[in-house]
Chains A and B, each alone.
Chain A
């Protein structure tokens, strides 16, 4: 859905309704209810008639129409992409699917699955047979290569539920100048749902990790965009130390339910705090390597930044690049929504989340005077290591006028967010500039 500027277009436009709440729009316009069982919208008889009347034709396959979907016949140009199980996301790219979440939809402490962003590199698998899904553990440094069904994983290892933040390495890319190639993420390639699964280290240790183990790489069931079955769309991973952390999971649930298809159903890796591309989706195989994994998009310039700071626009040879590990400290204002008009007499509550890659957040500060002065906020402890932290504060504005509210988080080592765009890099990663929203006080 490209439409997120509600109120700026024709207010009666069908897209506006769908942009606000596709499920409610379905119900309002067509009486179409979302079935949790089938994960498809189905039309009550009256709704089916209404929809058929509106387009002047019968809809024989109405039962197959996913919920929250604007029928293409009604859709305005370029604004019709609907993702099953998702709501309100802004689609940057349909093939491969890349969709981010507007900041105000990330207000929940635990990100609802429907608001979890999507970053696909290839085409997700179809016709998934979850009962016969296997995860293979192999690689030069795996002592006893084994295969597990999902049922075996559940049976053999301790089940763990953790709240874990995943952020795309390219989140914020759109603000780099000169522009860098790739999906032009603004602020929404971040989310922090809960994941349920087993610890990666329990599974790896069960198979035996060789003393020379260096890296764990993944392979998924997604296919390359070119259709070439010999090519992997992406096959990344993490150094063995990160893999063996107690928060690194092989997960089958998000927020207590099956993973959404676009987020890796039925099985994925979750190694939080690093570029989310290390957390492979549709997980089929893990390899314990005796070298840095050399899968697709492991090598520079993918998910890599210059070893030394470079001037904007520099052509940096691959040998002068290094792979990104922990993501930097960052925060997001999720309430209020940018663009509100606020009554001078009222305090304005401001809240959001902050995270710091492998580290923890020590404080979040707000400024309403372009960084001249800063107000501390209350920051909650994370639910567990590598979960984001909620912050909340309030502002009493001194006089009417235009204000920007800037949020700046600091990690435990005193590292903070830059107020301008941080170091330019050829692929536009790691933009952790302070988030800002605009408010007109009257």
Chain B
């Protein structure tokens, strides 16, 4: 088992365990947010293993460093306490989990038994900021502009929603 495979399985296990920790956490909302951060950082590590360096850096900078901080901010602001499942919902959770586990297991068995083709050799500078930058600003410049419009709409929307009274 090479170093790469070992690192990948380590970070994959970490991601799954912390994702489960986030979803199954009933007592502490802040701990759930921190588990989400661990998931995102381990996913960023997997991106680095797959030679997607800029995406990994942006994942940590934007996702783990800003979005989840926003979640934490709101949790602290609203002082959210613990959570319970609605009465009578326990069986729903357990059966949903079991069914999902069965389906995913079946899909995984089917997936792992028919291997995808060999990983090709990467061109020079794959996943680096130069190739991504050139591609973003020449082929996909319209996408960048649309993303900026979307972010503007989100800023205005969040401002209006969180304002107290508009007199």
Are these two chains actual partners, yes or no?
no
